[in-house]
Every structure is written in C-alpha cells, then in structure tokens.
Structure 1
Amino acid sequence: MSHQHFDTDINIGISACLIGQKVRFDASHKQSQFCVNEFGEHVKFVPYCPEVAIGLPVPRPTVRQIDVDGVIHVSRPDGTMDVTDKLRDYGQKVAPKLADISGYVFCAKSPSCGMERVKVYSQDGKGSTSDGIGVFAREIMKRYPYLPCEENGRLNDARLRENFVARVFAYKHFQTLEASGLSKHKLMVFHSQYKYLLMSHDILKYREAGRLLAKMQDNVDEIGKQYLAILMTAMKKIASRKGHANTLQHIQGYFSNELNGSEKQELCQHIEDYRAGLVPLMVPLTMIKHYLMEYPKDYLAQQVYLQPHPVSLKLRYSH
C-alpha cells in the first residue's frame, strides 16, 4: 500500500483554547482530546486566539455578534467595546501567513472563531439567529476556500472526524505536488491515485475531474486549481454506504481472474452486508487488502482510498 502521502510535516491551524491554552473569556480552555492526544501525533498545531491577539484581557467580558441595521458587529451586549474591525484586520493580517497549513480546527459558536451557526443577536437583545460566521474565521476561509476546516464539537462525530482527517491528508498531498512543480504527468498520476476515493464520495465529481484532466493543454496551473476545487468539494460530502459499496465492487473486479467462485461470493456478501449496514467498512476492506497482498496489483496498491490516513488513528472502525 502506498503511504508516501503521510511522510511530510503537516501544519494545522487551531483555536488556541482547543489545545489547552487558557485564553477563553473566563480564563478556561476547551481542550480537544482527539486533537491533542490522537491527531497531534501526526500533525503540528499552529494556535491562534484572535481575541487575545487584538489585546483583549484574560479573563474578559463576553462579546457577541450583534446585527445592527444589517451589519454584524462584535461587541459587549450593550454595544460597547466594539472589536469588529480589529478582529477582521487581524484575520486579514494572519491569513496570508497560513499558506502552508493543511487544515484548521475552529472553536464552535465563537463570535471570532466559529465556522458556522454562530449566534447573531438582534440589537435589542431579544432575539437571535444561528447563522453567523466568526469574524476571524471568515477571513481565513475566504482566503483559502478549499482548506479543510472543522469545529471542535463536530469532531466528536466519528464520520465527520474521519472525513476531516482524510481531507487534511489529501490537501497536504496536493500542496506537496504543487510545491514540486505541477506537470500534466504529475496531475494524471495524482488523479489515478485518488480515483476510487473520489468515486466513493461523489460519482458526479469523479466524472467531472476526469473530464477536466482530459482537456488539459499547457494551462497546468489553472487546471490544478480547478482539480483541487473538485477534489475538496467532493470529499466534503460524507461518503455514503452506497458510495463505498459501489467503489468496493469496482475494486473487486480487479480480482475476477484470481478468485474462485466461493471467494467471489464471500466478498460480494461482505460488500452487500456493509451496504445494508450490517457490518462496518473495515470488513470488506480488510478482505480486499488481504487479496491485494496475495495478488499484488500496482494500480490498486496506489489507491489512497484503501488507506486515506494513518492506520494508528483507527478512524474507519466505527462506521
């Protein structure tokens, strides 16, 4: 199995409170056990706390997002201590320095760092909606629209966690490819490694990627940008059981000459059991990896789908 895309140093932006820094308004932290104890074995975290960075003290009065005549402000509930511009300016200052990060973990619900669903209060304080984006987070995501981003709370969900980590490794792999100088050949090789991963997430995006590369001329850098957009958009969609099962069936086809009738039947049964929700993904996947060891196939061995992140993270066992 090809593991070369795990070799490099990976930098991940993170809200400082999530790695245990006591920078929250009440001088507490919200340490993420997964980030610190598991993911942290494979990546280096680059922490930011925009509220402290712009000079707010610890502890500090809470600030919130307030809709003032259609414009979002971040301030105390009574409108004093408005830090909207400072937070935005800080985001715009930090964003260009993050070109080498491969993902970002934001602190949920924060008026500065929330990725989505941040509370926005009405001016009179009587009502609120949950459709805001943290002022700092918005600047980072605007600068890097395809950067894998996630929030601490959502990382408690096994499928969202696995999806985020897979996106981080794919994004880093593409960054390494770009840094080495894109060429038509390199892009085609990259795509051939990601074919089945793309297929499992989104069959339409998989086809779109193929069409894009088929019309590649000398505009390699432009095609590269478009390819990354297709790949990351597809991977953001959680792969369904149906998507995985169809992909596994395609892979099974590679062994049609080697397997006897009962082996084929057994593998088919495992794939169907997975599709029906009776067994986890690891069951058919382990069997395919076993046959790949027995009957080596270079093309399959290169497929990122079979191992999109380090085994030690154990991310595929729960679904």
Structure 2
Amino acid sequence: MSASPENEKIRIGVSSCLLGEPVRWNGDHKRDRYLTEVLASFFEWVPTCPEVDAGMGTPRETVQLHGTPESPRMAGTKSGTDWTDIMRRTARQRSRELAKMNLCGYIFKSKSPSCGLNRIKVYTDTSTVHHNGRGLFAEAFVNACSRVPVEEEGRLHDPKIRENFIVRVFAYHRLQSLLSGHWSRGALVRFHTEHKFLLLAHSRKHYDALGKLVAGAKQHSPAELKSKYADTFMDALAVKSTIKKNVDVLQHMLGFFKKELSAEEKQDILETIEDYRQGLVPLVVPVTLVRHHVRTHNVEYLQNQMYLNPHPKELMIRNHI
C-alpha cells in the first residue's frame, strides 16, 4: 500500500531534535530511529524547535515551568530570565503557520517545557512540583489544530499507543482528502460506510452519533456538516481499540460470508479469532485471514472497509498488538 491515495507522503509536524537536528539546550539532539528510519518512508516531516524560534540560541540555559499547570510561566533555571511572553507569542505564530500546512499529525519531544504534551513538571513558589503541566508550544498547537492527532515520541514505543496514533494519522489524511476535494453528501456516505468497522473497533457510541449525523445530513449546512462530522470522527478514533472490540468486529465481518465459506473455513476463522482473543497471535493474523477471503470470494461490502487496511502493511503495526 502506498503512503496515501495520491502516492504522496503525509505531512507530519515534529520536534526538530527528534530528527537529529542539534537544537537541544546543550547543542545535542534526540534523534529517534523509529521516526527517521521507519516512519520517514511514509511521512514528510515539518520540524519545529520553538525554543530556537524564540531566540534562546544553542547551546542555551535550560528552562522550567513555574506557577500553576493551568497558566504556567517559563523561566531560566539559573538566571530566572522570564521567557513566557516571547515563547507564547512564538508558539501562537508558529501554530498558525502549521495550521495552514494540512498536517495530519504531530510528534512532540517528551518531558520538554516547550514541547511536552503531558506530565510536564510545573514548580510552585512553595517548592511543590506539579506533574500535570503541558509545554507552552504544545498547548498552543493543540489549541490551534484541535483535530490533528498528537503524540510524544516516547509513548510511540508502546505498541497500542503507536497503533492508535498511526491509525488516526492515516484516517485524518483520508478525511482531509474528502473534505477538501469535490465534497458531496454522497461522498460522505461512502466515506462513512468504508470506515464503519474501523470506527466500531474504537467507539460504537461515536459511530452511532456519526450515523445519525449522516442520515440527517440535509438538516445541516455543508460547513456545519463537515465540522460536526470531522470532530466526531476524530474523537471516535481517539478512543483506544481493545481486543474485545476487535473480536466483535471480526466476528461481525464473518457474517458477510454466510454462503461463501465452507463449515471448515468458518471454523478456521473462528479459531484464529479466538487465538487472537487469548493473546496467542497478534491482530494481523485474523485480519489477514479475513482479508484473504474477502478477495477470494469478492465480498463487495468488505472490499473497501478501511479496518482491513487502515495503514501501510510495511509499518507492521498490527504485528505487535
């Protein structure tokens, strides 16, 4: 499978240091091999180092967040130089620029007072340390690009978190292609139908809400329909998939083979799904088996189901969950 329907790389924002750029406080980098050696085959990187953009220089004094997690200030750890206003201004400006670049995801440097998404230390005047802050640039980006899937590089080493992020990136790319092209309600119906089982593997609640939205499409203006569908669609995929939800989807798909498969073939699929449920084989095994029968028996409804091909097989995402 190609990187996108147009055989182009998907544009992803990233902290510059993760690509090997020497922009860290000590003039070093934090090159991440998974990004540069695996994901780089499918993603076009759009790097940013907000601390360099803010004029801090390289090398530079380290900074910390102070005050409250809701509204922290950024200051030098030794000099106490206050960078808050400059960083917030830089972060807003860069985020506005990125919002115009059709990014389909962003990978942030973890533990950074500028780029960290979660669990960033915020120091108080009473020497108490809160561990639920967010980097100033990361906060500005999320506010400006609320639908864009975001994650930290460290968390991508967790197979389930990695799978959820990659699924959202490729799904958001398909969604952008739909809504930015010659859009119509009929095209939305086709898109929704093709994503049925992928959505069900994440959130039936959101899938039902999307179904009602599509069914009542004529009650909304095109702009309102686009916005509501896009928000709910991305919220759905942000819900983590589970073994149980995948098993339910696979068994549901099996119902489309009532006349095509022999009793032995059906039993083979059921046993493979059960092996997955028990953790004996990864998800790729039953999915590959179902996909094989879809092609062999030309099961039309399942042929374009994105659940069977949500991302390039070369990434081997489902080999580890």
TM-score by length of 2: 0.94
Judge conservation of contact 1:182–1:220 (CA < 8 Å) in 2. Answer: no
**What displacement does 1:70 show?**
7.3
> What is the correspondence of 1:287-306 to structure 2 with a 5 Å cutoff?
287-306=289-308
Structure 1 range deviating more: 289-298 or 307-316: 289-298
Verify the 8 A CA contact 2:111 2:119 in the aligned structure 1: yes
Distance 1:214 1:83, change over 3 A: same
Question: Secondary structure in 1 aligned to 2:67?
Answer: strand
Q: In 2, Cα distance between the equivalents of 1:236 and 1:69?
A: 23
Cα distance between partner residues in 1 of 2:71 and 2:178: 41
Question: Which letter does structure 1 place at the counterpart of 2:283?
Answer: L
Q: Distance in 2 between matches of 1:290 and 1:194?
A: 19
Checking the alignment, whether the CA contact within 8 Å between 1:6 and 1:309 is kept in structure 2 is no
* 2:205 matches 1:223: no
**Could you give the per-residue CA deviations for residues 38-96 of structure 1, whole angstroms, max 9, x where no partner exists?**
11101110100000111112111110001179741100236721111111111111122
Q: In the aligned structure 1, how far is the partner of 2:194 from the partner of 2:69?
A: 50
Aligned position for 2:131: 130
Which residue in 1 is equivalent to 2:249? 247
Take 2:312 and 2:115, find their aligned partners in 1: how far apart are those partners? Answer: 28
Partner of 1:271: 273
Q: Name the CA shift for 1:69/1:208 in 2 (closer, same or farther; >3 Å).
A: closer
- Greater CA deviation, 90-99 or 70-79? 70-79
How far apart are residue 3 of structure 1 and its match?
Answer: 8.4
Mark the runs of 5 or more structure 2 residues left unpaired by the alignment: none
Q: What is the identity, as a one-letter code, of the residue corresponding to 2:151?
A: E
Shift of 1:282: 1.5
In structure 1, what residue type is equivalent to 2:200? M
Q: Could you tell me which of 121, 129, 137 is aligned with 2:123?
A: 121
Matched positions, count: 318
Question: Per-residue deviation at 1:279?
Answer: 1.8
Shift of 1:181: 3.6
Distance in 2, Cα, partners of 1:121 & 1:267? 55
Asked whether the equivalents of residues 201 and 246 of structure 2 are also in contact (C-alpha less than 8 Å), the reply is: yes
Range with greater deviation from structure 2 (69-78 or 285-294): 69-78
Q: Residues 79-98 of structure 1 correspond to what in structure 2 (within 5 A)?
A: 80-98=80-98
Secondary structure of 2:47 counterpart: strand
- Mean alpha-carbon deviation: is it higher for 128-137 or for 278-287? 278-287
Q: Which is worse superposed, 250-259 or 94-103?
A: 94-103
CA contact (8 A) 2:108 2:117 kept: yes
Amino acid at match of 1:296: N
**1:204 partnered with 2:205:** yes
Q: Which residue of 2 aligns with 1:175?
A: 176
Matched residue, 2:143: 142
CA RMSD of aligned residues (A): 1.9
1:2 is displaced (CA, Å) by 10
* Distance in 2 of aligned mates of 1:254 and 1:14: 41
CA contact (8 A) 1:112 1:136 kept: yes
CA distance in 2, matches of 1:29, 1:272: 45
In the TM superposition, what is the alpha-carbon distance from 1:220 to its structure 2 partner?
Answer: 2.3
> Are the counterparts in 2 of residues 2 and 303 from structure 1 also a CA contact under 8 Å?
no
Match of 1:260 in 2: 262
Match of 2:66, SS state, is strand
Q: Is the 8 A contact 1:65 1:121 kept in 2?
A: yes
The one-character-per-residue Cα deviations of 1:239-284 (angstroms, maximum 9, x if unpaired) are: 1000000000111111111111121112112112212222211121
Cα deviation digits, residues 289-309 of structure 1 (max 9, x gap):
111121012321111110111
1:189-234 deviation per Cα after TM superposition (whole angstroms, max 9, x unaligned): 1111111000001111111111111111151221121111122111
Question: For 2:5 and 2:302, how far apart are their aligned partners in 1?
Answer: 16
Supply the distance in 2 between the matched residues of 1:238 and 1:78 (Cα, whole angstroms): 41
Instruction: Return the letter of the residue paired with 1:131.
Output: N
Query: Could you list the runs of 5+ residues in structure 1 that have no partner in the other structure?
Result: none
Asked if 1 retains the 8 angstrom alpha-carbon contact of 2:70 and 2:133, the reply is no
Query: For residues 118-155 of structure 1, what are the alpha-carbon distances to aligned partners after superposition, in whole Å with 9 as ceiling and x for unaligned?
Result: 1101125x321111111011111001111100001001
Match of 1:164 in 2: 165
Q: Which amino acid aligns with 2:204?
A: I
Q: Is the 8 A contact 2:61 2:77 kept in 1?
A: no
